[in-house]
Amino acid sequence: MRSAGFKLILAGGLALTFGQSVSAQSLARSEEDEGTWRHSITPYLFLPFSTTGTSTVDGSSVDLDLSLSDVLDLLQGAASVRYEGWNGDFGIISEVYYVKLAADAALPVGGASVDADIRQTFFNVQGAYRFANGVNASGRRYAADAAIGVQWNRLKQEIDISGPGPGMTLGGTEEWFEPMIALRYITEINDTWSFAARTELSGFGVNGDDLQYLVLAGFDWKGWENTSLRFGYQFYGIDYSNDRSGGEFAYDVDQNGIYAAVAFHF
């Protein structure tokens, strides 16, 4: 099963397995709101222009080098949303992400069919603290936040091979928890625009995940009183591996691309 046909299907199926969240605005809408609870719900989309790295299923490794158009052909469904609640300098952040990809083809030798089922889910909860909050020389507000939390991950890399002859299934599903930390800076540009940058790290060798990293920067446009649009650029990577009975199960990938979101504030 190390044929070119198998590698093509596996490489295609893994391209969009991981995405990440957009930067959320933690500044109060006004000084009067600073001492009250304020919330935001942000559905978002991450579109990786480039996906490079290595995927390993049952000890068989595949090099990945895919464009956005390659991976969009494989997308079967996705849902992602981020919640933030802030009261003064303290906040609660939670995020849910799910994506499903699929690919199928016939092997060039033997006539067997191959189906790839690739799914990734994560859910995290973070406690956040605003350690800097003020007004710059231009009279615009800024803030800096730090967060710490825990993330649950679920990664499925499964390849089904069927007829002629007996079928077989390669790969499977891995689930794990890992710690995470984040740091963010936000500043107003004018009455409707703001800029935010965020760095997030998780894994640290816990439960097979050596490191997940996220670096992003983007803008928030408050086009309406309680709704804003967000967009920017993001770099993401993961280095996960685990030994299974059938062989190594691993995913070591880097991505970069744009994100876009709509944020609802209340």
**pLDDT band at 59; cut points 50, 70, 90:** very high
User: Could you tell me if 257 and 47 are in contact, meaning their C-beta atoms sit under 8 angstroms apart?
Assistant: yes
Q: What is the pLDDT of residue 133?
A: 92
Is 60 exceeded by the pLDDT of residue 154? yes
User: Do 233 and 215 form a contact (C-beta atoms < 8 A)?
Assistant: no
| Domain boundaries, position 34 | 4-265
Lowest mean pLDDT across 48-52, 60-64, 125-129, 205-209: 60-64
Which tens digit of pLDDT belongs to each residue from 222-252?
999 899 999 999 999 999 999 999 899 999 9
Reduced 3-state DSSP string for the chain: CCCHHHHHHHHHHCCCCCCCCCCCCCCCCCHHHCCCCEEEEEEEEEEEEEEEEEEEECCEEEEEEEEHHHHHCCEEEEEEEEEEEEECCEEEEEEEEEEEEEEEEECCCCCCEEEEEEEEEEEEEEEEEEEEEEECCCCCEEEEEEEEEEEEEEEEEEEEEECCCCCEEEEEEEEEEEEEEEEEEEEECCCCEEEEEEEEEECCCECCEEEEEEEEEEEEECCCCCEEEEEEEEEEEEEEEEEECCEEEEEEEEEEEEEEEEEEEC
pTM of the model: 0.85
Higher-pLDDT residue of 193 and 77 is 193
Select from 68, 35, 22, 55 the least CA-distant residue to 170: 55
- Residue 196: give its domain's CATH number: 2.40.128
Give the chain's domain count.
Answer: 1
Residue 109's pLDDT band (boundaries 50, 70, 90)? Answer: low
Query: What's the confidence (pLDDT) of residue 112?
Result: 77
